[in-house]
Amino acid sequence: MSPPNPSSGTTGFFQTPPTLPNQYNEDITLRRIATLYLSPTHLPSISADLTSFASYILTPAVLSHTHNAETHPPTLSTHSTFGHPRSVLTTSEGWRALSAIGHANGIVATAYDSPELAHSARVAQFLKYVLWTGSDALTTCPNAMQDGAARLLANQLKGEISEGQRKVWAEAYERLTSREVGRAWTAGQWMTERSGGSDVRGTETVARYVGNDVGGKDESGMPLGDWSVSGFKWFSSATDAQMAILLARTEKGISAFWAPTKRKAAGGETEMNGITIQRLKSKMGTKALPTAELVLEGTRAYLVGKEGEGTRVISTVLNITRVHTAMGALGFYARGLAISRAFARVRKLSDGRTLDNVPAHVRSLAKNTVSYVAAMHLGFFAVAVLGISEHPEQFDAMKAEERMVLVENAQEAVLLSRLITPVAKAICSERSIAGLKEAMDSLGGVGYMEEEPEFNIARLYRDCNVTSIWEGTSNVLAADVVRVVMGRQGRHVKRAFNSWVKTRTGSWGLEWAGMEELISAERDKLDSWWENMDAEELAYKGKDMLEMIAWIVSSIMMIEDAATDADVVRTEVARRYILRKEAELETLPGIWRRDFNMDQRIAFPSISESTKDVAKL
C-alpha cells in the first residue's frame, strides 16, 4: 500500500463554494408575507420586480461595490496644504454606486410614488428593503432619514407656512422622493449631543431668529432659512446628506429645524452651510457609513412646526427611522440565514453527508428559522399599520376584502402603530443580532472570515449590532412604550390593542383553540400589568413588557399566515413558537426522526415547497 500524498497549497481537498440563490425565490417567509399583505391585483407585478431585484443585488458588479465600500471607509480632510481649515468628506466609489442603486430602485420613493398601492406601498417598499440590506453597505441609513424627512415635509406642506418656505420644502420633498440619480437627496437627523444620547432635554445647540433680510442661497439656489443655529452634534450618521432635520433650543424650548448642508459662497462656489466636520467616528461596524461629530456655527435653517415642540415634530422622523432600523435588522438576518442554508447544502462531513442531512445541525437551523419567521411577522405588521396610518381615508374607503390587512379601521391602525413600532424596533433588532450570531456559527471557521462579499456573515453581524442602539436602546424604547400606555392616548391605545387581539383570536377555527387560550392568557397578563402598575414599576419591567407584546403580535400573525392555506410547515412553525413560550418542546422517545423531517422542511424551503400538505393540529 502506497503512502498517502500530502496536501499542499494547490492540491488536496477544497471545499465546493456554496451558491447563494435568489433570496426572494428561496425565502418562503418573504413570499408568504407578500401574499398576506398585497392584493392579488398588485402581487404579480411586485413579485416579478422583487425577483429581478433579488438576482441583481447578488451579481458580481453589485457585490464589488459592497466590498469596495466596506474596505474603503470614508475619509476627512480638515486642512489644506497651506493650513487653511476645511471639511472635505470623501466616500468610496462603492458607497456612491450603492446609494445610486437604492435611489433608482425606489428604496424610499416606492412609499411616495405608488398611489395605486395606497397603504400597501409600505409593504412593497420594505420587501425590497429586506432583500437589499445584505448588499447595500448601510446606504439604507441615510435612506431611513430621507424617508422620515420626506414624511415630515409632506405633513408640513399641508399646513400654513409662508410661500417662500413652501417653495423651498416642495423642492426638498421632490428630491427626497425622487428615483433620479443625481437629483435624489438623502437626509440627516441630528439629535444626539454629548449630554444625553436619546434624551434630548439636555440639548445645548441654540437657534436664533435672524429674519429674512440676511439673504443667501443654498446649493440648489433656494433661499436660506431665517434662523441661525450654532452648537455641537455628537453623532451624525449620513454626514454626506444634502439636508438635515435637527433639534436646537430657542427661547421657547427645544425646536425642530430643516437645514441644507451646503450653500453658495460669495464667489458663487459651494461651501458648507456653517457646518464643520470635527472628526469621523471609529466604529465596530457600519464602516462604509460616514458618521461624524459636527460643529454648527451660524447654520441657516427653517423652523419646522412651532417653537418648543421640536420633540413632537421630530417624532415623525423617528417613528419611520425606527421602522427602517427594525427592517434593516431583519434584512441582515434574512441574508445570514440564506448563507447558512447555502453552506449546509454543500458542506460534507467525512461520512459523505452534507450538513443539511445532519440532524443536530438542521435542528439548530430550524430553531433559528422559527425565530426569524416570528420576527419577520412582527416587523411587517409594524410596516403594515404604518402604511395605513399614512393613508387613512383610502383604507377606510376600501372594501374589507381589498384591504389585505387584519385591522378594523385606520384609527385602530394609527393607535397600534404608536404601540408596535418601538416594540418591533427593539425586538427585531435583538432577535436578528442573536440569529446572525448563530448563522455565523453554523459555518464554523468560514463564518468568521471576510474574504467573499456574498458570504460575509461577519460583516452582516458587525453591522447588525448597531440596530439595537440606533434610534433608542431597548430600555429607551420600553420607556417610550410606557409613555404611550400611560399618556393621554394610553386608554385608547390599550383598548385598540386588546380589541385587535380579541378580534383576531376570535376569528380562528377550533383547531387553533389551544393556541388562542395561550395568547389570550398572555394578553390578560399584559393588561393586568398596564392597569395595576405605576409608570415607574412598568418601566422597571419594560423589556419584559416589550417581549410580551412582541410574542402576542408574532403569534397572532403567524397563525393568520398559517390559516390562509393550512400549510403543515407554517402551522408547525407557529406551534413551535407559541408553545415555547410555555416550555421547551420535549421530543418523545423514538420519534425524533419524524421531528428531524419537520426540522428539514422548516429550515430548507425547497423541501417545504415540494412536500405540501394540510396541517392537522
Q: Each residue of 262-287: pLDDT tens digit?
A: 999 988 899 999 999 999 999 999 99
Q: All 3 cell numbers of residue 311?
A: 420633540
- The reply to whether 228 falls in a domain is yes
CA distances, 249 to each of 295, 360, 422, 471 (Å) = 15, 58, 26, 20
Residue 301 sits in a domain of what CATH number? 2.40.110.20
What is the pLDDT, as a whole number, of residue 202?
A: 84
Q: What is the 3-state secondary structure (H, E, C) of 305-360?
A: CCCCCHHHHHHHHHHHHHHHHHHHHHHHHHHHHHHHHHHHHHCECCCCCEHHHCHH
Residues 464-520: tens digit of each pLDDT: 999 999 999 999 999 999 999 999 999 999 999 999 999 999 999 899 999 999 999
Between the CA of residue 179 and those of 16, 132, 175, 182, what are the distances in Å? 40, 16, 8, 9
Res 586: pLDDT: 60
Q: Do the beta carbons of residue 255 and residue 310 sit within 8 Å?
A: yes
Structure confidence at residue 610 (pLDDT): 39
* 254, 274, 308 - which closes a domain: 308
Say yes or no to pLDDT of 237 above 70.
Answer: yes
Q: Is residue 395 part of a domain?
A: no
Residue 587's pLDDT is what? 59
Q: Is this model's pTM higher than 0.85 or not?
A: yes
Q: Which residue range(s) make up the domain with 557?
A: 475-586
**Final residue belonging to a domain, choices 248, 280, 308:** 308
pLDDT tens-place string over residues 82-108:
988 888 999 999 999 999 999 999 999
Contact by Cβ (8 Å): 239, 291: yes
Of 51-65, 132-146, 206-220, 494-508, least confident by mean pLDDT is: 206-220
> Does residue 346 belong to any structural domain of this protein?
no
Phi, psi of 129 (to 5 degrees): -60, -45
Confidence bin at 606 (pLDDT 50/70/90): low
At residue 271, the pLDDT reads 94
Whether 403 is in a domain gets the answer no
| Cα dihedral sign, 421-426-431-436 | positive
Residue 480's nearest CA partner among 470, 472, 469, 488 is: 472
- The answer to whether residue 46 sits within a structural domain is no
Flag whether pLDDT at 616 surpasses 70: no
- Number of domains comprising the chain: 2
pLDDT, mean over the chain: 93
| Residues 347/354, Cβ–Cβ less than 8 Å | yes
In a domain, 236, yes or no: yes
> Is there a contact between 484 and 490 (Cβ–Cβ < 8 Å)?
yes
Q: Which of 244, 275, 308 is the last residue of a domain?
A: 308
**Cα angle 12, 17, 18; round to 5:** 145
Rounded to an integer, what distance in angstroms lies between the CA atom of residue 452 and that of residue 9? 19
pLDDT tens column, 144-163: 999 999 999 999 999 999 99
Residue 80: how many other CB atoms lie within 10 Å? 10
**What pLDDT was estimated at residue 266?**
84
Give exposure, 576-595, as e/b (b: 16+ Cβ within 10 Å). bbbeeeeeeeeeeeeeeeeb
d(CA 275, CA 262): 8
Q: Is residue 415 part of a domain?
A: no
